[in-house]
Amino acid sequence: PTLLIADGERALFLGPLLPQAPVLTRLLTSLQAAAPGSAGAGGEAQSVFERVRAARRA
């Protein structure tokens, strides 16, 4: 499965993820530990996030 994680303003992660709870837990823990304002997931991920956010508002 492909997962998109965002903080409300920017994409933090976009990519495939094994469907196993420990893998997701490690990913979320590492994202929470990252310094605020650290680099997001990149331009392509941000573009996907913006489209998802716009679709939810429509």
Q: What is the count of structural domains for the chain?
A: 1
Distances in whole angstroms, Cα of residue 5 to Cα of each of 11, 41, 53: 6, 9, 12
What is the pTM assigned to this prediction? 0.82
Domain holding 19, by residue range, is 2-57
Q: What average pLDDT does the chain have?
A: 91
Phi, psi of 38 (to 5 degrees): -70, 165
pLDDT in the model for residue 34: 82
Share of the chain above pLDDT 90, in %: 71
